[in-house]
Chains A and B, each alone.
Chain A
């Protein structure tokens, strides 16, 4: 194709396309947008995230939280130096040691699984990965068929 032909073709199509008027938006579009705006109207400040609160309330809440945190830290420090606290903590510590045993058992199970996978061999692992990839490709293919058949324009 000559350069002159391409330029003439470009000018011809440009003239045709730029002469097109705007399409009329469907009347329902305005109603849809209005309904969507009403649905997403802002909620009261106490139902929004902290960043959306007024600045004054953010400052007050921050100070209160810091005071609360400081009180908890001081109280914990005081308690840790009390004899009654040491006695009271004995029972929870026993429960925690039982959890530690459970954790060791879980680690043993995971270790066994890792050793079993290592002994399976590369071929089996490659076959598993290939099966996963084929399953993924099948999903894509079925999705394409659905997309073209169910959503195709008539």
Chain B
């Protein structure tokens, strides 16, 4: 478990953007792996199996607990799309001309976590899990057009957020 706990937790965290839920899902994944320990312990594809199971459990969790509330939250938060997903970062204490690689990675991670789940989930599935648009549409039970739109919006939001931070630190 020590070898794969970071992989499982990272996959869950990037899909759910909630540490408590990610820990719960990670625990369930490892319990499932324990039940199939005999066949997994010598398998070379255990990492892929864990990743796939984590992804599926996260998607099930999202569809089970958020679909109903998302409908009403959309009713309460009808506003201009451009203002809706504004991302805010904490300003670093010492602004330097060149960002360290770890600082930039932290910014990217924060920006990813702050995306609404309707954008973050398809983005993560496409870029980090390697799924195609059609596979994402099938898994999330949404149309292909919505997948492409959500992924494009997520990319735009990330790009704007990172550029905003860069512009502030160049001053």
Contacts and interface: CB of A to CB of B under 8 A. Distances in A.
A144 B155 contact: no
Contact of B31 (A14, A22, A37, A153): A37
Interface string A122-154: 000000000000000000110110011000010
A144 B9 CA distance: 27
B23 A29 contact: yes
A22 B10 contact: yes
Contact of B159 (A9, A19, A22): A9
Contact of A22 (B6, B19, B26, B76): B6
Given A20-B105, A140-B68, A148-B69, A29 B158 contact: no
A26 interface: yes
Contact of B108 (A17, A24, A32, A144): A17
Interface string B122-161: 0110011000000000000000000000001001101100
A96 interface: no
Nearest to A144: B72
A29 B27 contact: yes
B56 interface: no
Interface string B99-119: 000000100110010000000
A83 interface: no
A4 B57 CA distance: 36
B10 A23 contact: yes
Interface in A2-31: 6, 9-10, 12-14, 16-26, 28-30
Given A26-B19, A144-B73, A13 B159 contact: yes
A18 B128 CA distance: 7
A146 to B, nearest CB: 9
Given A23-B6, A26-B19, 9 more contacts: A10-B155, A13-B127, A13-B158, A17-B108, A22-B9, A23-B109, A29-B26, A32-B23, A153-B18
Interface of B: 1-2, 5-10, 13-14, 18-19, 23, 26-27, 30-31, 34, 68-69, 72-73, 76, 105, 108-109, 112, 123-124, 127-128, 152, 155-156, 158-159, 162
Question: Which 5 residue pairs are nearest across A and B when measured between Cβ atoms?
Answer: A25-B9, A144-B72, A25-B5, A22-B6, A22-B10
